Structure formats: C-alpha cells, structure tokens
C-alpha cells in the first residue's frame, strides 16, 4: 500500500485520532524514582522500568515522541493523515504516585503544558484533563478548570488507582463532575494492580499485549454492573482497544450477570434499570486504538451502534501509517467511515 496519506479530508472526512499520548519529564522522573526506590507496583515497574530506561530503538523513539508537543508530533500526524489528535497524559498518569502534593502538581502542570500546546496548534490538538484520582475532590476541581479555563474536551483516567476502582464511593466527586459538566471519561489501561497481576509479568503478558485489556475491561464491567449509569445516566464512558473487548462478550456478561442477580448470589450486585446492552449502547463509546482490525471495528459498530465507534492511533506507542490506509479501505459505507474517522469524535468531545 503506497497511497499518500494527506490531512484535509481528501476522502471526504477528517481523521481524528482519539487516544494519543504525551508525557512530561517530571512525570517520568517521579515514576522512575518510585521504581528505583522499589516502591512502585509490579505493573509500573514493568511498564516504566522498560519505557523509561531501555536503550532499544522503539523505546528511544517513544520517549522522545512522548515529550514532544510540537513540530515532531505534527509532522508525524501529517505523515499518516491525522488531522486532529485528542491528547492525554500517558499511562499511568500520576496514579502510581504516593505523595499527593507531588501527584497533584505534576497533573496540574501537565494540564498547563497541554493547554499551551493546544493554543499553539488550535486546529490540530485537543486536550483531555489529567487528574489525580487519589484525591477525588481536587480532581473534581481540576476537571472544572480543565473544562472552563483550559478548554479541554474530556478526562483520561488510567484505570485502577493503586488497586481501587471508580465505582467505589470515594470516587463519586469525579463521576459527578464528569456527568454534571458533560466531560467524557476515557478509561485508559495501565498494568494490573499487584492483587491481580499474578504470574502475568513472568509470562510477559501484563502489558498492552493482554493485561491492559483484562484489567480495563474488568474496571468498565464494574461500572456497568454496580449501577453507576443508573446513578449517572448522562455519564459518557470511552474505552480504547476495541472497547477493551466488551462488545464481543456482552451477551455472556448480560446473561450471567442477570442469573447472578436473580439468585441473589452476590450482596453487591442488585437489579439494574436496564440490560447491560443498554448501557453499552447508551453510555459507552469505543475506539480502535491499537486494534486496526476491520473485523473488530465492524463488530463494535454492530453491537454498540455505528455512532459510538471512533478512530484512534495510539501514537507514539503504535505509529503505523499503513494502518490508516487499511482503515480507509474498510468495506463499510462512506457514511460509516465519516462517522468513524470524524463526526462521532466531534460529537462525543464537542469539538
């Protein structure tokens, strides 16, 4: 495949990439310090012990590209025909850090940097707020600042926070802020917490290859099954990597969840107002980050509805211009491609 990829919608649509990562030097330093001190969890040790220090060509490229919010990034977008990138502080954000002052400061300064970059490239960059879920009240305030002062279009939370999940009551201020201010909540993976990771590191499977999706789909399923969307019917949840597999499994989840509820098997699981399908088709959006698969994308469209599936590249972790060519050529209708690459993301993020 050799067609030139251009920005500007030569196929009749703009391409908006919705899960694109950046880092700040102080974020990486703080994480690497925890790793060096032996205080980071196993997922962070494996992820940032690798990306932070490996001399390989791939990790050197990724480190350089994560830190850049300027010309290098725009050049890369031009090369693969990405018109706009929705940017977020890379996983795990500040969620591995124990010092709350430090974590809040790093998140807030990352937000300031991202805002400057969005101002420099107003037609190319869209920001998502970084928060510090270890401090839910502060995070709700920062969400307000992100929306009202910085012009950001969503929030990225890198799945569990030190083994805790957003359905837990302590995180209500964050969910309420997202619902009240119409801020899409992108739950992005990180390594599974120590209580879940088991033998996955030894098997080489705890990262983006598998563990990310296992843990993030578990997180999302916790939100679906504990009534979070009955409490916050307007809450918008976004999941990458083919909606972390949920659409493929949804019939089984729904059947077994209902069977468990009917027989009162678990005290925490209560009847919901709707089926799990309903929440998947009403409150959840899926992107194809890291999953440039026409078969998977079509399954998402069929199960979730074609208005809920958005394009993503996952730069700089996965930067493969040929994937764009492959998706341009998908055997779906032109109208579906316009939704997938452009208008679904515009509506979801209000851009």
Could you list the active site residues?
314
Q: Compute CA distances 338 → 135, 156, 180, 239, 344, whole Å.
A: 39, 25, 29, 20, 8
For Mn ion, the nearest residue by Cβ is 314
Estimate to the nearest angstrom the gap between the alpha carbon of 22 and the chain centroid: 13
Q: Give the binding range for Mn ion (CB under 5 A) out of 14-22, 51-59, 215-223, 332-340.
A: 14-22
Residues 246-280: b if buried by 16+ CB within 10 A, e if exposed: bbeebeebbeebeeeeeeeeeeeeeebeeebeebb
**Which SS3 state, helix, strand or coil, does residue 120 take?**
helix
Among 20, 41, 83, 314, interactor with Mn ion by CB under 5 A: 314
**Inter-residue contact 161 to 133 (CB < 8 Å):** yes
Quote the CA–CA distance of 242 and 309 in Å, as a whole number: 9
Does 20 sit near Mn ion (CB under 5 A)? no
The binder of 207, among ligand 1DF, Mn ion, none, by C-beta within 5 to 8 A per type, is ligand 1DF
**Cβ 317 to Mn ion, closest distance in Å?**
6
Partner from ligand 1DF, Mn ion, none binding residue 161, C-beta < 5-8 Å depending on class: none
Could you give the CA distance from residue 259 to residue 324 in angstroms, rounded to a whole number?
Answer: 42
Where does this chain touch Mn ion (CB under 5 A) — which range of 19-27, 134-142, 155-163, 222-230?
19-27
Which CB atom, from 40 or from 276, has the smaller least distance to ligand 1DF? Answer: 40
Q: Which residues bind ligand 1DF (CB under 6 A)?
A: 21, 47, 90-91, 189, 207-208, 240, 289-290, 314, 317
- Minimal distance, residue 332 CB to ligand 1DF, in Å: 23
CB of 291 to ligand 1DF, least distance (A): 9
Q: How far is the CB of 289 from Mn ion (least distance, A)?
A: 6
Q: Which does 206 bind (CB under 5 to 8 A by kind): Mn ion, ligand 1DF, none?
A: none
Q: How many residues contact Mn ion, by CB under 5 A? A: 2
**215 vs 314 by CB, closer to Mn ion:** 314
Smallest gap from Cβ 159 to ligand 1DF, in A, equals 11
139 vs 73, 104, 154, 219, 292, CA distance in Å? 28, 8, 13, 19, 33
Between residues 293 and 336, which has the closer beta carbon with respect to Mn ion? 293
Report the partner that residue 208 touches, choosing among Mn ion, ligand 1DF, none (CB closer than 5 to 8 A by kind): ligand 1DF
Specify the residue, 16 or 47, whose C-beta has the smaller distance to ligand 1DF: 47
Q: Enumerate the H helices of the chain as residue ranges.
A: 25-36, 42-51, 57-67, 71-79, 100-120, 136-148, 172-180, 194-197, 211-225, 228-231, 240-243, 246-262, 276-282, 294-304, 321-328, 334-338, 344-349
Bridge partners for 156 per DSSP = 130, 186
Shortest approach of ligand 1DF to residue 169 CB, angstroms? 28
Q: 179 pairs with which residues across the strands? A: none
Helix, strand, or coil (residue 240): helix
- Residue 238 binds: one of ligand 1DF, Mn ion, none (C-beta under 5 to 8 A by kind): none
How remote is the C-alpha of 333 from its chain's centroid?
27
Q: Which residue is nearest to ligand 1DF (CB)?
A: 208
Dist. CA 12–CA 328, nearest whole Å? 11
Contact residues: Mn ion, CB under 5 A:
19, 314
């Amino acid at each position: 495949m050799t067609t030139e990829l251009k920005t500007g919608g030569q196929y009749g649509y703009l391409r908006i990439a919705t899960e694109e990562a950046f880092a700040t030097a102080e974020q990486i330093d703080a994480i690497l310090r925890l790793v060096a001190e032996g205080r980071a969890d196993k997922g962070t040790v494996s992820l940032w012990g690798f990306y932070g220090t490996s001399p390989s060509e791939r990790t050197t490229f990724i480190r350089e590209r994560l830190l850049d919010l300027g010309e290098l990034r725009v050049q890369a977008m031009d090369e693969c025909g990405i018109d706009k990138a929705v940017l977020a502080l890379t996983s795990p954000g500040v969620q591995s850090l124990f010092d709350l002052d430090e974590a809040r400061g790093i998140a807030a300064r990352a937000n300031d940097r991202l805002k400057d970059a969005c101002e420099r490239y107003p037609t190319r960059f869209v920001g998502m707020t970084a928060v510090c879920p270890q401090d839910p009240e502060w995070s709700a305030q920062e969400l307000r600042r992100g929306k009202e002062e910085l012009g950001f279009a969503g929030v990225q939370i890198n799945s569990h926070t030190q083994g805790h999940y957003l359905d837990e009551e302590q995180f209500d201020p964050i969910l309420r802020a997202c619902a009240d201010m119409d801020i899409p909540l992108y739950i992005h993976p990180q390594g599974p917490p120590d209580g879940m990771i088991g033998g996955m590191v030894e098997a080489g499977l705890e990262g983006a290859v598998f563990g990310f999706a296992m843990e993030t789909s578990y997180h999302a399923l916790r939100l679906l099954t504990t009534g979070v969307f009955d409490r916050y019917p307007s809450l918008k949840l976004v999941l990458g990597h083919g909606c972390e597999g949920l659409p493929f499994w949804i019939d089984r989840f729904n059947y077994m969840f209902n069977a468990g509820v009917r027989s009162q098997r678990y005290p925490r699981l209560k009847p919901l107002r709707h089926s799990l399908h309903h929440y998947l088709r009403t409150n959840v959006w899926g992107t194809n980050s890291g999953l440039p698969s026409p078969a998977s994308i079509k399954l998402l469209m069929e199960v979730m509805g074609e208005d809920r599936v958005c394009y993503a590249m996952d730069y700089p972790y996965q930067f493969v211009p040929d994937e764009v060519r492959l998706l341009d050529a998908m055997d779906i209708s032109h109208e579906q491609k316009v939704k997938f690459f452009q208008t679904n993301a515009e509506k979801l993020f209000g851009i």
